[in-house]
Amino acid sequence: MGYAAARGGLKAIEAAERLVARERVLGESQWLESKQMIEKLRLAVDRVMGEGGLWDEHLAASALRQAEGDPIEAAHLLRSYRSTLPRLAYTTPVDVDDLTVLRRIVPAFRNPPGPQLLGRTTDYTGRLLDTDDETSQRTAAEKMAAFIEENVTISKAIDGDAEPTDIRQPRRLLDLLRDLDAVVDRRRTDDPEPFDITRHPARPPATRSARLATMARAETGALVNVWYRNILGPDGYLHEITLGEVRHGRLPVTVIHPLTGDPVSISDVRVTEVEAIEDLNGIDEDRGRFDVGYGLCFGHNEKKAIAMANLDIACERDKGRSFLEQSILLTTDGLDASGFLEHLKLPHYVTFRSMMERKAAIRQFQENT
């Protein structure tokens, strides 16, 4: 017990830990394998990696198991682990145009360059709770697997092995809008060094790279809340937004080979990417064109990437006039928020006794006057 003005309790703390550890590891069910979580609870594992700011599916699954399924606590464990590791290198700047899509939809445009590819999603499926037992669910899944297998064979026979690059790495809608001169051009040529939020806290006014990095690591629920409050809530910043790109896919991890000096791709990470098209209507804005916000985060987490893209452009347009940037930078980190919240459970006996004494003194003063 290291909290101010209280100590002791070691035996009780150890007993409490034993209760958690016994049920978490033993219980009446089987050991929860990391592979099982990566396969079957993939969105939870992805969320933990995103909010932990660290890509490693096995470590994230271990964290989720240790945290008994609490994603914020799991992200906390991952960040703690991260703090023990050296940073060996920076990747070469990975161009997001190199993303190989597993899913790609363009809600704004019916016929974008490249395919509208639903990928692995239940976006268009009714939200009905499946209460069937394991045998029934397995039978149904096996039928679906057989259907996929049958159709894969057919498509193979028709089209061979062709997989053109423009299908897996389609041109983005933003490029088309640029061709049509329908979007303001904010491309920079000075290539500023990115802000490192793991070394310095980002505070307003911050660079865009600090905001993007903060949101990429933000807690999903917090980011969605800031977005929702911004677009519909008391902030009153009502704006017309349409999603350009929503992508889930693989990005290469490219580092410089120390013996050749050339970039080599050593791995991939999965990311979710979103472009949000904003209708500019301000008096000081180019009302004949759109602007675009950008969101990118580890794993498959569309809620987070959509909120991020919307908040990126909202922040850009806000130009520090409201507290939006401050909200993003200071209140969306899961570790910050939950750390402060959790600490409230620690003994506050001394501070509260002091408050009680003050109340008593005030009451006595009121009674005497």
Partner 1 sequence: MDRNRRSELLARANSSELTAMAEAFLSRRSIAEEIQVVNPPEVGMVMMQVREPVCKERFHLGEVVVTRAEVAVAGVRGWAMRSGTDRETTLAAALLDACAEHDVELAAEVQALCERTADRIAADERREWEELRATAVSFEELD
Per CB under 8 A, contacts with partner 1 among 232-271 are 251, 253, 255, 257-260, 262-267, 269, 271
With the CA atoms of 19, 23, 25 and 27 taken in that order, what torsion angle do they form, in degrees rounded to the nearest 10? 150
Residues 7-66 that bind partner 1 (CB under 8 A): 49-50, 53-56, 58-59
Phi then psi dihedrals of residue 230, to 5 deg: -70, -40
Q: How far is the CB of 313 from partner 1 (least distance, A)?
A: 9
Q: How far is the CB of 221 from partner 1 (least distance, A)?
A: 18
Stretch that binds partner 1, among 40-48, 136-144, 211-219, 333-341 (CB under 8 A): 211-219
CB nearer to partner 1: give 62 or 327. Answer: 62
Stretch that binds partner 1, among 11-19, 22-30, 146-154, 320-328 (CB under 8 A): 146-154
Stretch that binds partner 1, among 2-10, 20-28, 78-86, 128-136 (CB under 8 A): 78-86
CB nearer to partner 1: give 56 or 235. Answer: 56
The candidate with the shortest Cα–Cα distance to 123, out of 107, 147, 100, is: 107
The candidate with the shortest Cα–Cα distance to 298, out of 276, 325, 268, 322, is: 268
| Binding-site string for partner 1 from residue 287 to residue 326, where x marks contact by CB under 8 A and - marks none | -----xxx-xxx-------------x--------------
Stretch that binds partner 1, among 3-11, 16-24, 36-44, 194-202 (CB under 8 A): 194-202
SS3 103: strand
| DSSP label of 182 | -
Stretch that binds partner 1, among 1-9, 69-77, 156-164, 335-343 (CB under 8 A): 156-164
Phi then psi dihedrals of residue 254, to 5 deg: -115, 125
With the CA atoms of 293, 298, 303 and 305 taken in that order, what torsion angle do they form, in degrees rounded to the nearest 10? 0
Q: How far is the CB of 229 from partner 1 (least distance, A)?
A: 23
CB nearer to partner 1: give 110 or 321. Answer: 110
Strand order in the sheet with 241-256: 100-105, 241-256, 263-279, 290-298
Residue 200 binds partner 1, judged by CB under 8 A: no
Residue 186 binds partner 1, judged by CB under 8 A: yes
Q: How far is the CB of 280 from partner 1 (least distance, A)?
A: 14
The candidate with the shortest Cα–Cα distance to 223, out of 330, 148, 103, is: 330
Cβ burial of 70 (10 Å; 0-12, 13-18, 19+) is middle
Tokens representing 229? 């409050």
Q: How far is the CB of 283 from partner 1 (least distance, A)?
A: 23
String of DSSP letters for 297-349: EESS-HHHHHHHHHHHHHHHHHTTSSSHHHHHHHH--HHHHHHHHHHTTS--H
Q: How far is the CB of 70 from partner 1 (least distance, A)?
A: 20
Q: How far is the CB of 363 from partner 1 (least distance, A)?
A: 53
